[in-house]
Structures are given as C-alpha cells and as structure tokens.
Structure 1
Amino acid sequence: MTSTPRVAVVTGAARGIGAATARRLAADGHAVAVVDLDESACAETVSAIKDSGGRAVGMGADVSDPAQVEAAVARVVEQLGAPTILVNNAGIIRDNLLFKMTVDDWDAVLSVHLRGAFLVTKAVQAHMVEAKWGRVVNLSSTSAQGNRGQVNYSAAKAGMQGFTKTLAIELGRYGVTANAVAPGFIATDMTRATAERMKISFEEFTEGVAEQVPVGRVGQPEDIAATISFLTSEEAGFVSGQVIYVAGGPAD
C-alpha cells in the first residue's frame, strides 16, 4: 500500500496490541507518539521503532485525565507535528461476576476505555479537521457481544462501537474516517494474567482457546496491527463507521 507519512498517536502502546500497532505504523512510514500511563514503560517500543529507522516519542498520560491528555497532544504537535492518525487502544480489565463487582471496578474500566477514547479523540480531531484528513481506529472486542465475568469490559467495548459510528457520521465531511477493530483472543500480557487468575498455564489456556477458533490458533498482536495498518491507510478512505472482528472466524 502507498502511504503518505503522517503523525500517529497510539494509546496503551507500551506493550501488547498497542506496541505492535505503534511498530507497524512506524514501518508504514509514520511518526508515532507512543502513549501509556507510565512514560518509562514506553521506552522499549520507542527504541524498537528508532532502531528500525523510524521516528517515535514516548509520553506518559492518564487518558482519563483531560489536562494530561491535552498536555500530551500538545507535546505530540511540538515534537512530531500535528497528528492525523489516532488509535485508541488504552484499556484495562477488572473482571468479576456482577454480584462481586465493585463500583470502583466498573468506573475504572469505563473511564479508561470510553472516557479516555472520548478525551483523546476530542483533543486530536481538531488537527484532523484542519488537515481535511484523518483516521481514527478504536479498539473494541468480541466481548462487546457479552462475556461472563466482564460486564464492565463488555459494556465499555460495546460503547466503543457506538462511539465509533457516531464519529464516522460527524467527522466524515472533513475527510476523517472512524472504524473499530474488535479482536478475539489475542496472546498478550493481559490474557496471560487471565490465565494466572484461573491458575492454569498460559500454554494450556491458549491451547484450549485455539481449539474453539476456526483457523485453529489464537491471535497475535501483529494480526490486529495489520488490520489497523489498512484502516489508517490512504486506500481505506471509503471505509468508515465499521466494526471489523479480527477473531479467526465469525464473531457475530
């Protein structure tokens, strides 16, 4: 795919899907702002991009804090230029059954996923509108369709889909597309932690999941990064308001 160099912001980019996406967008020729809660945690992703000849800066920000988001986007503009690609990937899990879930667990998950995506998109969209070009990709999940023990996460990921479709309607006239990617099971630190809570090995956990996936394997962060690469490309300009399930088989 041909690619005009842009400035991209990827949240939750210190590891997992976010790190793979940051590396892929850098390989596509874009300068990348690697954003995570802890700036020092971004160093590995930034170094990997720079070692491959790309441009990247790491910055710490709590995406649910308006002042921190505005400061981070201002730094992106100052250090890399006006951002016109945004990947809202930052997220946390606080899994529990409904009757055990605390209000804090509910609020934390909704705050990082939904409030965070809202704040970062609001801060970045002005640069996209001014450029008359932009790409927003939000991370949803197959859990948006419901998943035992994840009433907070499922609600947040379903919300990301409605958020995405509304962005597509509001920003389309300015040359900005908005899409969501909904991963199935992806091998990351987050899913490894789930296996630990279940007191089984990660290998046993992934083997069991893979048996249920039509393509016969679990997903890798690079699978999601590849889909995001397309959605942020020049060629994807007529794809907007879509939710793309990347789950190794039908997911809806």
Structure 2
Amino acid sequence: LEPRWVEINNVQIKINLLPKRFEGMTIAQLSDIHHSKYVPREFVRRCVRKVNALCPDIVVLTGDYVCRSRAFLLPVAEELSELKAKEGVFAVLGNHDNKDNTFHALSKAGIRVLINEHVPLYRKNDYLFLAGVDDLWSGDVDLRRTLKGTDDKPRLLLAHNPDTIELGGAADVAFVMAGHTHGGQVSVPFYGPPVVYSRFGYTAGLFRKGNTTLYVNKGIGISGLPVRFLVRPEITMFTLRSKKIEDVLHEKCRC
C-alpha cells in the first residue's frame, strides 16, 4: 500500500574522535532498490533526484539493486550514474546481486564498489576510512582484510546485511550502514513485522552494540510480495557529529 511513498529520514551520528574537518559531513544512503517490474525505472529515477536534492557530501548504496534478473541491471546502473555527491558515490553488493555483473555495471556508472576493502576519505590533512564488505549470505565477508591498514581514525562500514555487526572485528568500526531487511516490508499493527531477515532483530533504524552504531535502512524497493504496509520506503541522510566528552560520560553513567 506504500511502495512509492518515500520518507527521508535525517539522522545525526555521533562519532568518537571524529576529525574536525569531518564535523557536519553528510552521507545519503539508498538501499535495496530491487529494480523490477514492481519497482519501475521511473521510481528509481525519482529517488535519485530526491537524493541529489539533499546535496550530500557522499552517497552510499548498500546492495540489492535488482531481484536477481540481469535484465534490470543496466537500467538501474544508468539511473544510479546520475547520483551527485561532492566526495563520491560508494556501494556494496547484496544477496540478490551477481557479483561480477553488478560490480562492472556499477563501476561503469562511476560508482566505487567496495568488496572487503576500504578507502581513506581526505579533507586536507584530516582523514577517516570508509570500508565495505561482501554480503554475509551470498559472499565471503572478511572484516580483517577489509580493515587491514587502517589506523586509529574512525572507520565507517557499508554492509548489506546488518547481522555483519555480530562478526569478530566489527567492534573496531564506529558506524555501520546496512539494509537487507526492508524493515520487514509489512508491519502488523500492535505486533510489528511478522518476518524480519535478521537473526538478531535488527529490523530498521538505529542500534548500538558496544562502541559501534548501526543504522538499518528500510530500502526503497520490494521483493516477494509487491507491497509495503506501515513500512515506507526510505532515503536516509546522516550528519556526522563529534562525540563530546559529556556524551561519553553520559553513556558510562547509563551503563
């Protein structure tokens, strides 16, 4: 009932030891597009325009660009090539994505695909790391390899599946951006989503595990039943903020 009613969620993320030049950095997230006959090209184009209107510093894409059919891959890549971001567009792959075909299509569209690797993001002499892992279900996640060579600067991680946060090595990450669950896609009043594709209950929104913040985007597409109910498609706009000393003290007191 709500497959085209997109909501834009603005979320502030507090990062410990965030370099000063990255204060206020904005990151727009699109996830789970699932371009198909039920998620038409015009809708994808409209979502791309919505993202561009936000004028983000970075755009991140967290997997599942089609519903397995290769016929929709080039069209969705062409639409995503229109994404505009001052400091780049980055992506990881999901369980519906053929690794080789999707990697080449997105790369040709000017999108940097991260598969168990990281890139430094520089602002003059300041920097942090943006990393991306393979899919937890269909790929070969290697967090050790992904983070190898990073230092004590903040690490941001793209992962299609939010359960990636439960793997060893995730504790070294400040902020994880994920998708996969569609927020359940259907939510029953007074009950919630009957089905959630997360073993640990990471349905949608913000979570905290140790020193790591996780955000699970509800995606803009659909799979399985061509419907959303009480789970609107989502574009997320993150703003990075430095975690102040008083924030850390408050967390310790709360524990």
Same fold by TM-score greater than 0.5: no
Name whichever structure is richer in helix by fraction. Answer: 1
Q: TM-score, normalised by structure 2?
A: 0.39
Q: TM-score, normalised by structure 1?
A: 0.39
Name whichever structure is richer in strand by fraction. Answer: 2
